[in-house]
């Protein structure tokens, strides 16, 4: 296994054998460890001392199902703390089979405004790195960039890039990868890591896997048994099975579910129900596509080997493709949170976010906050589309929005700003779902549902149904989910395997056996919690050194004082309970 270090100061690269100490680390476990060890916590996120780390998961690049995930880590310009964001893409599988355990981008460009690309290919059994001038690709929408890069390097490549939002230095800019149809649409979106990549003067990372040795598996029999059990669990669980909820209606199947639960944040988190929810839900996307293309359209895989296949494609009235993928979070942020119930307008904004390199969650919540301030009215889809264009163009208003929801609040004097540690909350109202609120408050990443998805038991009944309105026992629940998630993020699996493996014991064991088969370890279920707990400890120590201590593990004041319709609940989890989540770490 190799560590590839790319220095953007002198445009050099070094290839070194991965240290033995990192043998069992992958994905988030490796990115967070390297960032914590090598990045000064008080350094400027867009300055010379930050680093951007790419790491595939432990089983990424193997035949393990739904495991082609890449973790991207660094210090976040949005939160000021440690950050990991991940995406499903062939780029993840390619870097893994090339034997690259981590790709570390460091240094600072000597020439401002110039962009470089790197091409990584195999030189025998060892990777090699070549630099090329990529300035010609700057300032262009990504659908113009990716086809040119494929034409230049050939079809059998994978692409990582950044958009114009990152070039503007936005805290709301992601790192983009290709999907299976070569679209620039798979994002490690949250936390502004795109701006970190831009600050290094790095526009493109092209992988050419031809001649790659593949991922070494220590115990093939154990791995194969684990893989078999994982596949069986995913193919039989109601949420993840073929033509099940995710494959049919995509992640936007949650729109109606959350709306019914009174936990769909609406019009800048002023209500938990949106009267237009049925018009934008996953069911509506499915039926609209059926009408426009004349047949039922089930969803596709975002990355190689995914058998859940929840990524959708939304079509225009004339039957041509409009955008892919319209996720639940994007649909909600650009829809219900802005009071917009027009799917075509939501799809247009989603596509613009893909084109400009914007995180859809932060974009939607920032626009919702601007609507609260009176910049445009709630429900103004055309006005919202214009605001996304302004972000892409870098106008003064666009730059305020590109800085994220918290910056919008400061610029316009808005007090209802749904953020934690500077990052916008996703599509689950914490006053209506207390466990996810605890996750938002305490995760190292800023408000982030994927850090500890208690929606599974609280709303979907996975592992047994829990009352979402009750705070009782939710601190322990969030802690367990956060530790388990840190491991899943390190394994290389998509978080959505959690639905199946938390209900089907053989599936959980399958995940363990896959990892043990690759590494030659003997991990148990307790080891998963211990592994995840160590990652969280590393991340929290970095944040504390950066000045983000437990006093930042709090919800916005308005959520403690403003009752949320329809349940008229406030966020009533005591600070002591929040502090208890990681009190003994």
How would DSSP label each residue in 474-508? HHHHHHHHHHHHHHHHHHT--TTHHHHHTT-HHHH
326's tokens: 């319209």
Predicted structure pTM score:
0.98
Alpha carbon distances (Å) from 410 to 319, 366, 446, 554: 42, 11, 18, 18
Given a cut of 80, whether residue 585 has pLDDT beyond it is no
Q: Where does 296-420 have alpha helices with state H? A: 328-334, 343-356, 360-372, 381-393, 396-402, 405-412
pLDDT of residue 415: 96
**For residue 300, which of 314, 292, 312, 288 has the smallest C-alpha distance?**
312
430-503+523-585 is classed CATH 1.10.599.10: yes
pLDDT of residue 24: 97
Q: Which residue has the higher pLDDT, 583 or 568?
A: 568
C-alpha–C-alpha distance, residues 497 and 468, integer Å: 22
Beta carbons of 490 and 466 less than 8 angstroms apart: no
Which residues, including other chains, have CB under 8 Å from residue 457's CB and lie 6 or more apart?
435, 463, 464, 465, 466, 477
- Residues above pLDDT 90, as percent of the chain: 99
C-alpha–C-alpha distance, residues 434 and 440, integer Å: 10
Beta-bridged to residue 542, according to DSSP, are: none
Question: DSSP secondary-structure letter at 69?
Answer: E
580's tokens: 């208890």
C-alpha–C-alpha distance, residues 17 and 8, integer Å: 21
C-alpha–C-alpha distance, residues 351 and 194, integer Å: 17
- Residues above pLDDT 70, as percent of the chain: 100
pLDDT of residue 476: 97
pLDDT of residue 583: 86
| Backbone phi and psi for residue 74, each to the nearest 5 degrees, phi listed first | 175, -175
Given a cut of 80, whether residue 522 has pLDDT beyond it is yes
Per-residue pLDDT of 175-193, as tens digits, reads 999 999 999 999 999 999 9
Distance, C-alpha 118 to centroid of its chain: 24
Rounded to an integer, the average pLDDT of 314-329 is 98
3-state secondary structure of 70: strand
89's tokens: 């893409």
C-alpha–C-alpha distance, residues 566 and 316, integer Å: 34
Given a cut of 80, whether residue 8 has pLDDT beyond it is yes
Domain boundaries, the chain: 2-207, 246-428, 430-503+523-585
CA angle 481, 250, 299 (to 5 degrees): 125
Q: How confident is the model at residue 584 (pLDDT cuts 50, 70, 90)?
A: confident
3-state secondary structure of 188: strand
Dump strand ranges (E) for 134-191. Answer: 158-161, 175-178, 184-188
Rounded to an integer, the average pLDDT of 227-233 is 98
Rounded to an integer, the average pLDDT of 121-131 is 97
Q: How confident is the model at residue 531 (pLDDT cuts 50, 70, 90)?
A: very high
Per-residue pLDDT of 152-169, as tens digits, reads 999 999 999 999 999 999
CATH architecture type of domain 2-207? 4-Layer Sandwich (3.60)
Dump strand ranges (E) for 76-193. Answer: 82-88, 100-106, 116-123, 126-133, 158-161, 175-178, 184-188
| H or E stretch at 532 | helix 525-545
Per-residue pLDDT of 250-305, as tens digits, reads 999 999 999 999 999 999 999 999 999 999 999 999 999 999 999 999 999 999 99
Rounded to an integer, the average pLDDT of 341-367 is 98
pLDDT of residue 112: 87
114's tokens: 């110039």
C-alpha–C-alpha distance, residues 112 and 138, integer Å: 13
Give the mean pLDDT of the chain. 97
Beta carbons of 504 and 237 less than 8 angstroms apart: yes
The tokens 């808005």 sit on which residue?
A: 414
**For residue 35, which of 548, 545, 524 has the smallest C-alpha distance?**
545
Q: What number does CATH give the domain 246-428?
A: 1.10.569.10
Beta carbons of 65 and 227 less than 8 angstroms apart: yes
Rounded to an integer, the average pLDDT of 189-211 is 98
Given a cut of 90, whether residue 417 has pLDDT beyond it is yes
C-alpha–C-alpha distance, residues 85 and 73, integer Å: 7
């Amino acid at each position: 296994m190799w560590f590839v270090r790319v220095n953007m100061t002198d445009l050099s690269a070094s290839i070194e054998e991965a240290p033995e100490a990192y043998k069992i680390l992958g994905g988030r476990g490796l990115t967070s460890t390297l960032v914590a060890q090598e990045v000064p916590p008080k350094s400027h996120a867009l300055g010379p001392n930050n680093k951007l780390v790419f790491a595939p998961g432990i089983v990424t690049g193997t035949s393990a199902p739904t495991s082609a995930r890449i973790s991207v880590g660094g210090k976040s310009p949005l939160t000021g703390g440690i950050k990991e964001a991940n995406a499903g893409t062939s780029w993840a599988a390619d870097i893994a089979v090339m034997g690259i355990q981590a790709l570390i981008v460091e240094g600072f460009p000597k020439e401002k405004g110039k962009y470089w690309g790197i091409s990584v290919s195999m030189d025998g059994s060892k990777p090699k790195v070549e630099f090329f001038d990529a300035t010609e690709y700057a300032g262009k929408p990504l659908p113009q960039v990716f086809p040119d890069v494929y034409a230049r390097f050939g079809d059998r490549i994978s692409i990582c890039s950044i958009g114009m939002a990152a070039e503007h230095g936005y805290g709301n800019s992601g790192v983009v990868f290709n999907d299976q149809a070569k679209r620039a649409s798979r994002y490690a979106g949250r936390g502004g890591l795109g701006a970190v990549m831009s600050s290094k003067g790095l526009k493109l990372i092209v992988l050419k896997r031809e001649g790659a040795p593949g991922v070494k598996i220590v115990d093939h029999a154990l791995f194969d048994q684990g893989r078999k059990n994982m596949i069986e669990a995913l193919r039989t669980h109601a949420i993840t099975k073929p033509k099940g909820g995710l494959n049919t209606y995509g992640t936007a199947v949650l729109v109606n579910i959350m709306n019914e639960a009174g936990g769909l944040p609406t019009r800048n988190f002023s209500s938990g129900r949106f009267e237009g929810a049925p018009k934008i839900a996953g069911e509506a996307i499915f039926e609209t596509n059926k009408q426009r293309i004349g047949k039922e359209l089930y969803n596709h895989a975002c990355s190689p080997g995914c058998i859940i296949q929840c990524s959708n494609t939304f079509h225009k009235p004339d039957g041509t493709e409009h955008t892919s993928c319209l996720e639940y979070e994007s649909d909600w942020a650009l829809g219900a949170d802005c009071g917009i119930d027009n799917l075509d307008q939501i799809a247009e904004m989603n596509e613009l976010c893909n084109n400009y390199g914007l995180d859809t969650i932060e974009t939607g919540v920032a626009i919702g906050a601007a609507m609260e301030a009176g910049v445009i009215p709630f429900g103004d889809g055309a006005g919202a589309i214009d605001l996304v264009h302004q972000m892409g163009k870098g106008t003064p208003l666009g730059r305020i929005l590109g800085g994220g929801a918290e910056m919008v609040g400061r610029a316009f004097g808005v007090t209802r700003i749904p953020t934690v540690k500077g990052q916008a909350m996703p599509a689950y109202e914490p006053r209506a779902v207390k466990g996810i609120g605890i996750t938002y408050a305490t995760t190292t990443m800023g408000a982030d549902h994927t850090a500890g998805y208690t929606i599974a038991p609280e709303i979907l009944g996975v592992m047994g149904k829990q009352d979402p309105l009750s705070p009782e026992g939710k601190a322990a629940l969030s802690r367990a989910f956060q530790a388990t998630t840190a491991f899943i993020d390190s394994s290389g699996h998509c978080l959505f395997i959690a639905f199946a493996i938390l209900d089907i014991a053989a599936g959980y064991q399958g995940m363990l056996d896959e990892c043990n088969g690759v590494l030659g370890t003997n991990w148990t279920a307790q080891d998963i919690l211990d592994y995840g707990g160590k990652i969280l400890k590393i991340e929290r120590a970095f944040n504390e050194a950066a000045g983000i201590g437990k006093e930042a593990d709090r919800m916005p004041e308005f959520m403690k004082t403003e009752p949320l319709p329809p349940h008229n609940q406030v966020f009533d989890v005591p600070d002591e309970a929040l502090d208890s989540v990681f009190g003994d770490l």
